[in-house]
Amino acid sequence: MAPEIKYTKLFINNEWVDAKSGKTFPTIGPHDGKVIANVAEGDKADIELAVSAAKRAFHRNSEWRLLDASKRGKILYKFADLVERDAQYLAELEGYDNGMICAMSQRITTSAPDQIRYIASLADKVEGATIPLDGDIFSYTLKQPLGVCGLILPWNVPILMFLNKVTTALAAGCTAVVKPAEQTPLTALALAALLKEAGLPAGVLNVVPGYGETAGVALTHHNDVAKISFTGSLEVGKLIQKAAGANNLKRVTLELGGKSPLVIMNDADLELAIKFAAYGVFTNQGQICIAASRLFVQSGIYDRFVQAAAAVAKSLKIGNPADSSTQHGPQVDEDMMHKVLGYIEKGKVEGAKLVAGGKRVGTSGFYIEPTVFADVKDDMTIAKEEIFGPVQNILKFETLEEVIDRANATNYGLAAGIFTTNVNTALQYSKHVEAGTVWVNTYLAMGPQAPFGGFKDSGVGRETGSHCLDEYLEVKTVTVSLPKKF
Ligand code: TXE
């Protein structure tokens, strides 16, 4: 049974309101391509209202600004309890709107409360320093919240992205305007309702669903917005950097795409490596920025590996994401499905060897078979561009030095992995591969305690980890003259 859709309006100043224009847009279910709900379509006028509400909530005498830091944390702890209470509903809603298989959406919503609690625990650990300046003076630093933050979300893991950005901004004492992706607005609205229920004062969090070119652009160009945190494509990330520079020099955190290399050495535990290589690229139908989309396999095990990888891809059970036995669901929308099928065609035309999958599944919904290409060369399009779909590209290599160079020959630098039983090989690769996260003999293992972000074009700044609040804080130096040295 389809989950109930409780919220389809804009969330501004703790109220559910229609868009000023009265417009709505449909959100489509990836399983069958049918309209799930019509959602209020926010644009510049609504962003204006939301930013004003967030600005009022950030006034120095506001309830939010005068709240003890530990009490901010308590609201987030309460929010964590509510997410725990509604975990099953949120998982179903995520799967319905985004196409994520329920095994994954449930994993996310059952671990979400602890993720929120970790960030909540940082709210009252923001500390400055005393500075030993020369002379009869006393100097110290204050770390203060930046102000109104614009949080622009992608569609691939909507709940996780909402939590990473919103809880961190709020723990730091900022206020926020969230712009969810137009493909997946529903879980952001459901989470906003839970934050209201947890006792968040009016205006501290606002959610404005709408399109990037209208609502998103208005947010990134708004002079009362102090910071943008964005997860999405490299192209839009660059536009956001430009908008930030053109107006009030906003702070910017960007989490962009990837073309992550996973290296399998001859001495690897083969069974483990095959399992993680598939998991690393087929999770969420390849719609994760850290997908292991360049799989480098050493020549001694190459043929055996290709055969096994094709067998794993063919064995994955494709089906309705709501079905608990499903291992592979649909792409998020028709555009992404065609984009991925286009890459598969390019792979064939440019001479890669298709050893599994390669086709659309059925005619309703946006399903693509888990696909494996062997004999992929570094200069092929499928080895260079982010596909963001279920396509495993296998490349052959001979030596560690060679594979480090080839792994780094990309403008991206988000994640990397290696399977080897030689600790020195693992350490050497981990030191020299250009990536924000490196996994050794595993892949996709993550948690709120570890920083996450990219080298090179994969992003700017870090999310999660014990210093994540710093991205939402300014450092102020206060220097006080003393009557004499004492
Ligand atoms: O991303 P967009 P799309 C990559 C992936 C995918 C490609 C395109 O390769 O194939 O991006 O996906 C908002 N100003 N990733 O088109 O457009 C938009 O409304 C302000 C990687 O969906 O970047 C949405 O909320 N905002 C990725 C968000 O930006 C704008 C996750 C992301 O949309 C805007 C998703 C603008 N001018 C896609 N234009 C990752 N890093 O995990 C759009 N938006």
Helix (H) and strand (E) counts for the chain? 15, 22
CA separation, residue 233 to residues 72, 126, 251, 299, 395 (Å): 32, 32, 18, 34, 25
Q: What is this model's ipTM?
A: 0.98
Cβ(343) to ligand 1 under 6 A? no
What secondary structure letter does DSSP report for 55?
Answer: H
Q: Which amino acid is at 412?
A: Y
> How far apart are alpha carbons 433 and 430 in whole angstroms?
6
Give catalytic residues, as residue numbers.
Answer: 255
Predicted local distance difference test score (pLDDT) of residue 331: 98
Three-state SS at 65: helix
Q: How many CA atoms lie within 13 A of 139 on its CB side?
A: 11
> How far apart are alpha carbons 429 and 117 in whole angstroms?
34
User: How far is ligand 1, taken at its centre, from the CA of residue 152, in Å?
Assistant: 9
CA 146 distance to own-chain centroid? 21
> How far apart are alpha carbons 81 and 356 in whole angstroms?
43
Mutate to test the pocket of ligand 1, among 236, 284, 366 (most ligand atoms within 8 A of CB): 236
CA 32 distance to own-chain centroid? 25
Tell which phi-psi region holds residue 135, choosing left (phi > 0), alpha (psi between -120 and 50) or beta.
left
Predicted local distance difference test score (pLDDT) of residue 201: 98
Output the tens digit of pLDDT for each of the chain's 486 residues: 899 999 999 999 999 999 999 999 999 999 999 999 999 999 999 999 999 999 999 999 999 999 999 999 999 999 999 999 999 999 999 999 999 999 999 999 999 999 999 999 999 999 999 999 999 999 999 999 999 999 999 999 999 999 999 999 999 999 999 999 999 999 999 999 999 999 999 999 999 999 999 999 999 999 999 999 999 999 999 999 999 999 899 999 999 999 999 999 999 999 999 999 999 999 999 999 999 999 999 999 999 999 999 999 999 999 999 999 999 999 999 999 999 999 999 999 999 999 999 999 999 999 999 999 999 999 999 999 999 999 999 999 999 999 999 999 999 999 999 999 999 999 999 999 999 999 999 999 999 999 999 999 999 999 999 999 999 999 999 999 999 988
- Two tokens, residue 12: 């501004």
Backbone φ and ψ of 37, nearest 5°: -165, 160
CATH of domain 261-448: 3.40.309.10
User: How far is ligand 1, taken at its centre, from the CA of residue 153, in Å?
Assistant: 8
What secondary structure letter does DSSP report for 333?
Answer: S
CA separation, residue 234 to residues 209, 254, 386, 454 (Å): 21, 9, 10, 12
Which of ligand 1's atoms lies nearest the C-alpha of 255?
41
> How far apart are alpha carbons 320 and 28 in whole angstroms?
15
Q: Which DSSP helix (H) or strand (E) runs through 392?
A: strand 391-397
> How far apart are alpha carbons 213 and 270 in whole angstroms?
46
CATH 3.40.605.10 residue spans of the chain: 10-256
> How far apart are alpha carbons 143 and 138 in whole angstroms?
17
> How far apart are alpha carbons 92 and 367 in whole angstroms?
19
| Alpha-helix residue ranges (DSSP H) falling in 233-301 | 234-246, 270-282
What secondary structure letter does DSSP report for 432?
Answer: H
> How far apart are alpha carbons 412 and 237 in whole angstroms?
13
> How far apart are alpha carbons 249 and 102 in whole angstroms?
41
> How far apart are alpha carbons 385 and 372 in whole angstroms?
16
User: How far is ligand 1, taken at its centre, from the CA of residue 276, in Å?
Assistant: 27
Which of ligand 1's atoms lies nearest the C-alpha of 288?
42
Cβ(291) to ligand 1 under 6 A? no
Question: Which superfamily, per CATH, for 10-256?
Answer: Aldehyde Dehydrogenase; Chain A, domain 1 (3.40.605.10)
> How far apart are alpha carbons 221 and 245 in whole angstroms?
9
Please report the sign of the dihedral spanned by the C-alpha atoms of residue 203, residue 113, residue 470, residue 259.
negative
Cβ(217) to ligand 1 under 6 A? yes
Predicted local distance difference test score (pLDDT) of residue 208: 98
- Two tokens, residue 146: 């930046």
CATH 3.40.309.10 residue spans of the chain: 261-448
Cβ(459) to ligand 1 under 6 A? no
Which of ligand 1's atoms lies nearest the C-alpha of 459?
41
Tell me if 336 sits within 8 A of 389, measured CB to CB.
Answer: yes
> How far apart are alpha carbons 1 and 16 in whole angstroms?
26
> How far apart are alpha carbons 1 and 111 in whole angstroms?
24
Predicted local distance difference test score (pLDDT) of residue 247: 84
User: How far is ligand 1, taken at its centre, from the CA of residue 475, in Å?
Assistant: 31
Tell me if 119 sits within 8 A of 167, measured CB to CB.
Answer: yes
CA separation, residue 154 to residues 12, 79, 106, 185, 212 (Å): 20, 22, 19, 10, 10
Q: Which amino acid is at 322?
A: A
Residue found under tokens 């309209």? 35
